[in-house]
Amino acid sequence: MAKRGPDDCLEILLALPEGRRWLIDRPSVIKGVTAYMVHSFDSTALLFAVPLIIHRSLLEEIPLDGRGAAGAVAMIIEQVKQEAPSDPGLGPLIGRGTRFPHHVAYVTEPFTVVSSPAALASDLWHADRRNYADRDGIHLLLHGAVPCPQEFSHDEVESVRETLARLCEEVTAIVCSVPARELETAWIGTLDQQLLREALPSLGLVSFVGDESRLARHYTRYRPFFRTAGPREDVNIPFTCPGELEPAEVELPASNRTVTGLGIRKSEVFAVAGSNAQGKTTFLDGILAGMDNHAAGDGREQVVTVHGLHTAEATTSLMTGADISMFFSALPPGINGTPRAASGMGSGSMNMASQVQRAIERGAPLLIIDEDRAAPNLLVRSCLQTGEITPLSEILARDRGKMGRPLSSLLHAPLIRWSHRPIGSWSSTGTLPQPLTGNRSGRRWPNRWKRWQTI
C-alpha cells in the first residue's frame, strides 16, 4: 500500500461535504495555487490553502452599487483576523500548535487597503479577485498551517480533516454574524471613494485630500510599503487645508455627505516646502496612495486621486531610445543617438528627464516629483550647469505648455523658491506657522505651499 502524504490530506479536504452555510469553492480550485497542502521548510507543519464559499448574499442584503462590495468583504476578513488569536477553531489561521507559528503570521496581519489598481500585498489576506462577494455568496481563500502528521495514518489524516472542517465552520459563523448595518457602512465608504474618483475630472481636480485625514504611516514586517502600511498611532497630525489655498468642498456621492479639503487642480503646479521631518514626503505619498480605496480607520479614506498618476525619480539605468529633448539639447559623451532617442547608461537626471517626458506623452493627469528622490540639477540650475540642459524650474517659468495641458505637477521643494506668490502654510507637526526667515525660537518650520496654473 502506498504511503499517504500531504496530497491525500488535500484530496480529503477538497472532498469535504457541504456544511450548513458553506462549501468548498470547487470551481475556484487551482491545485498548487488556490488549493494546496504542502510541508513547511522543516516538515513540522502542513501549509494549506483552500477556497470557500459562504452562503450569505451580500448583494441582496445591501442593494447598492456592487463596486462598494469590496469594502464589506474587507471588513469581514478583518473581523476574522481579530478573532483568530482567541478562537480555538480559527487556530489554523495563526498556525496554532505548529513549531513556528510566526511563519504564517502574515495571514492575520491587519490590512486597511480595500482595493487598488496595483498588485499590492499579494501575500496578505485581503479583499481581491479571490476574496469577493457575488450572487453565489462570499468567496474566501483561507490560508494557514496545521501540525504535520508523523505517519499520515488514517487517524492523523482524519484529525487534519476535522480541524480544517471546524475552521470552515468557525469562519462561516463569524462571516454570518457581522451586522448588515456595519457592512453597509463599509460598503458606502468604499463606494464614496470610487465614485468621487470618477467625478474628480468633472470638478476640475486630479486629487482631493480631505480635512482630518491622517497620512503618517506605521510600517511592519509585512507592510513595509507606504501604500500598504497602516496608520501611525503615536504622532499623526490630522491634515487641514489652509484657508489661503481655497479649500475645495465636495459631495460624497454614496453617503451624500459634504466634506472640505485640498483640491489639486488640473493643469496646476503645486509645490510643498519645509524643513526636515515635516511631512512633505508623507503628504506626497498620501496623494499617491489616493489611487487606492481605504477602510475606515486607515486615515486616508478621504484622500482620493485619479488613476494614471506618474512619478519621476533619479535612477541610474539603461536607456533605449529615450526622449529627453525637453531638458537636454545635446547628449553627453558615452550616450548614443539624439536627445529625442538617447541610448546608453543614463545618469539620474537623464532617466528622470525620460520619466517626465514619458508621463507627458502618455497623458498622465498628475506627475509627482519628490526632491528627496529627484536629480537636483534637473530641478534648478546650478552654477556649474551648461546651457545644454534646461531645468524644470525654467520650463515651468517660461514654457509651461511643454508640460502638457491636462498635466498637473505636485512638487516637493526646491522649486518653491521662484514661485511668484505664496498661498498659505500648514504644519504637519501641529506647531504654529512661522515665517521662512528669522529666529526659529525652538519650533519646527511649517510646510509652505504654493500653487499656480500652467498656461
CA 339 to mean position of chain CA atoms = 35
Asked whether residue 36 is domain-assigned, the answer is: yes
- Asked if residue 305 is part of any domain, the answer here is no
Query: Does some domain include residue 24?
Result: yes
pLDDT of residue 405: 62
Q: Could you read off the pLDDT tens digit of each residue along the chain, which spans 455 residues?
A: 457 899 999 999 999 988 889 999 999 999 999 999 999 999 999 999 999 999 999 999 999 999 999 999 999 999 999 999 999 999 999 999 999 999 999 999 999 999 999 999 999 999 999 999 999 999 999 999 999 999 999 999 999 999 999 999 999 999 999 999 999 999 999 999 999 999 999 999 999 999 999 999 999 999 999 999 999 999 899 999 988 888 999 999 999 999 999 999 988 888 887 777 788 889 999 999 999 999 999 999 999 999 999 999 898 899 999 999 999 989 988 899 999 999 999 899 999 999 999 998 888 899 998 888 888 888 888 766 666 888 888 888 887 777 766 567 766 554 444 333 334 444 444 433 333 332 322 333 345 555 554 43
Q: Is residue 68 part of a domain?
A: yes
> Would 358 be classed as within a structural domain?
no
pLDDT, position 371: 81
Cell of 195: 465614485
Q: Does residue 351 lie within any of the structural domains? A: no
Q: Integer distance in angstroms from the first to the last C-alpha of the chain?
A: 80
pTM for the full predicted model: 0.86
Please give the grid coordinates belonging to residue 148: 504535520
Give the domain extent around 86.
Answer: 6-178
- Give 382-440 as a DSSP string: -TT--TTB--HHHHHHH-GGGG-SS-EEEEESSGGGG-S---EEE-TT-PPP--SSS--
408 lies in some domain: no
Please choose, from the candidates 370, 349, 355, 453, the residue with its C-alpha nearest in 3D space to the C-alpha of residue 412: 370
pLDDT for the residue 87: 96
State the total domains in the chain.
1
Residue whose entry in the numeric block shows the C-alpha cell 507543519 = 45
Query: Can you give the pLDDT at residue 411?
Result: 67
Domain membership of residue 22 (yes or no) is yes
Distances (CA, A) of 190 to 163, 197, 253: 35, 11, 11
pLDDT (0 to 100) of residue 217: 96
The per-residue pLDDT for 412 is 58
